[in-house]
Amino acid sequence: MKKIELNWKTGHSAELGTAPDRMVAARVPGNANLDWALATGMPDWKRGTGFEEYRWTENCWWLYEAQLPKCELRQGEQVFLVTEGIDYQYRIELDGKLLCEHEGMFSRQEIPLPASGGEVLRIWIAPVPKYPLGIKDTREEAAQCTKPAASYGWDWHPRLIPVGLWQDTYLEIRGASYIQDIQVDYELANDFSSADVTFTVNVHGEGDLSCIIYDAQGEAVARGQCVIRTTEDSEHKIKMTVNNPKLWWCNGYGEPNLYKYGVELAPIGTAAESYSGTIGFRTIALTMNEGAWEEPKEFPMGPSPAPITITLNGVPVFAKGSNWVNPEVFTGTITRETYEPLIKLAHQANFNILRCWGGSIINKKPFFELCDSCGILVWQEFMLSCNNYVGTKEYLRLLEQEAVAIIKKLKGHACIALWCGGNELFNNWSKMTNQSAALRLLDKLCYEHDPKRPYLMTSPLHGMAHGYYTFRYPDGREVFQVMPSAHHTAYTEFGVPSISCAETCGETADREQLFPLVKNAVTIAHHAFGAWGDAAWSYLDIINDYFGKAGSLEDLIEWSQWMQGEGYRCIFEEARRQKPYCSMAVNWCFNEPWPTLANNSLINYPATPKKSYQAVADACRSKKMSARIPKFTWRGGEQFTVDLWLLNDGCESVAAGEAAVSVELRGEVYALQTWKYGEAAANTNIEGPTLRFNLPEFDAGEGGELAALNSSGSERKKGTRHELKLKIEAGELSAEYCLLFFE
């Protein structure tokens, strides 16, 4: 099989069939509107309000054009046009003759072509779909299509809708015999002592077919083969057993062991074609959270909460991670290199899960390969988010086509923990229900094509929760007060925003435009204001309340990322303290598709970790000391209280030991107490003592730099601000918290 890249040009036109006035070079995979912008000198979409100049690109027809080369074919060979995905609705013509009409960017196409050369291949991409429901220029326009809703505008995504040949699209010369499809399934023995593997291989033509599984050292551990002597299409199930397979584990629970497989078809007289992939042997299930069967307690009695504990190889996992969004606005430009640093950061943050949120794209293959090899579980949603995707016949047909393509393409990845219909569909901003045909259809398709993998209609389900997205709630409570009183099986979204890193801010506008940080077209566009209510995501009022007036953008960045870090640390650790009733903490969000000025993300575009990223990475260590702290801001003379915990996720116990607790304030270290803790069993926390300490009183400093709120959000007190560091020293388990203190 030989792959031939084409030289693509692109241009736009008001109507289908009308030749564009100009054609420019097109990158494939890529996005036509970005190619056009680069070639014609349109404003930088990342800077200021430059992206608004791209609005017209939603509404025209985009044409991709390439001339076919002459292909010298041997006996039985055939040329195919192959595309892994075109965004979004398109028709393919050859010399003006229609070859295919298609809607949907996630389904692969293979179209036989002539080999004579010189013909012109044209792909016409229609204006982006806009369902005329509700208000114009909102996500609701995506409510009857399978295009990700985020690009229609979100509180962290500009309204900027990519189109084009966003995935590999090329010519392929195939011999008389070739492999059409490979599906690998396996059944693990109950005691994990062996795996019965079945390769289902669809072959066109004849040849000797062999399948081999290799271990990490490259040793073949199982093989099977068959001789195919038909010139028709045929399907072959080749079975083999891998004994004592090394299981695939997620980060923090073991190694993400992968086996490599090779499938080779050797036709008579021509070179063999070979394909490879990986297998990670594991079982996965959603099981009931401990204690959830005991709820509710009273009659009249409802059902128990939905199960949301990911049980991997029989071990209940505490899932720690983040919500993943498309890492580029122009999703066509995403490559393995886009994903690599981000997945590495997720791994280094001690995450074991990413929730691929339904408003974004279904990621390209390298994303899943990287998650496979890094032990990052993937919560994979279909492309429904915050809309009512009404089950019209046309929508259901489209959804089925795309969903089946997605399931078949991805089901072989060990990393995928579960399928989910989409985001927040059972809440009143979406108004879908368990009766929605789209969600019943998706359940059916997952059950048919991938029955061993869990399926959820949406997140949150009964028992789980999303939000809120500030350090301090509108009622004045901080996350320090809210989270210990929350009682949920999983926190699958929660956010604490911050202002972006200086470097990222500088991508959005000149520095002098950004301080003082005020509401204007640019700062609104980059989500510092008006993203979710007027104050989001910069929340200058909250920063000002805690820290006083900022003297520079750097002050704002430092303070807000400090709050973000301690806020996230609080929530992740509180969720972990609530284990085993709670089994998941996934913040909103991990990354971002363009440079924001403020966002709940941990990583600025494209892959710059915020200061708060470190706090989260620390909070997610498998084994660590943890403190439940009642509030962020303290004053002299108050009694400081802290509940100690030893958190232990993963498959190993923690030996007994001692933890020395101290408070550091104005350069002084005050020893509180030493906690002698016993051994923590694998996957089990220990609740420790509550420590109390009377904070020293100091003379009120001169010119205390702000009026600080106390944590109830009402009383103000003058005083000088200091860091209050709580340190729990216990070797590798040590933990540190950085709070505020006012004299």
Residues at the interface with its own copies (CB under 8 A): 285-286, 288, 293-294, 299-304, 306-307, 426-428, 431, 433-435, 437, 440-441, 443-444, 447-448, 451, 454-458, 460-468, 473, 482, 486, 488, 491, 494
Give the nearer residue to its own copies in terms of CB position, either 125 or 418: 418
Are 214 and 260 within 8 A, CB to CB? yes
Give the nearer residue to its own copies in terms of CB position, either 286 or 346: 286
Neighbour tally for 183: CB within 10 Å: 15
Are 469 and 601 within 8 A, CB to CB? no
Give kind and range of the element (H or E) at residue 675: strand 668-677
> Closest approach of Cβ 378 to its own copies, in Å?
17
Separation of alpha carbons 40 and 637, rounded Å: 65
> Closest approach of Cβ 292 to its own copies, in Å?
9
Give the nearer residue to its own copies in terms of CB position, either 29 or 495: 495
37 token code pair: 């912008």
Give the nearer residue to its own copies in terms of CB position, either 361 or 536: 536
Give the nearer residue to its own copies in terms of CB position, either 295 or 705: 295
Q: Which amino acid is at 260?
A: K
What string of H, E and C letters represents the secondary structure of 355-368?
A: EECCCCCCCCHHHH
Give the nearer residue to its own copies in terms of CB position, either 203 or 586: 586
CA atoms 335, 337, 342, 343: torsion sign:
positive
> Closest approach of Cβ 237 to its own copies, in Å?
17
Separation of alpha carbons 470 and 549, rounded Å: 19
The answer to whether the bond into 132 is cis (omega within 30° of 0) is: no
405 token code pair: 């393509």
Strands 169-174 and 2-4: antiparallel
> Closest approach of Cβ 77 to its own copies, in Å?
41
> Closest approach of Cβ 240 to its own copies, in Å?
21
Give the nearer residue to its own copies in terms of CB position, either 537 or 675: 537
Separation of alpha carbons 111 and 597, rounded Å: 45
Give the nearer residue to its own copies in terms of CB position, either 13 or 401: 401
Residue linked to tokens 């820290």: 547
> Closest approach of Cβ 441 to its own copies, in Å?
7
CA 186 to chain centre: 27
Q: Which amino acid is at 432?
A: M
265 token code pair: 């078809």
Separation of alpha carbons 280 and 278, rounded Å: 7
> Closest approach of Cβ 290 to its own copies, in Å?
12
Closest CA to 553 of 595, 499, 477: 499
Give the nearer residue to its own copies in terms of CB position, either 317 or 661: 317
> Closest approach of Cβ 268 to its own copies, in Å?
40
> Closest approach of Cβ 739 to its own copies, in Å?
23
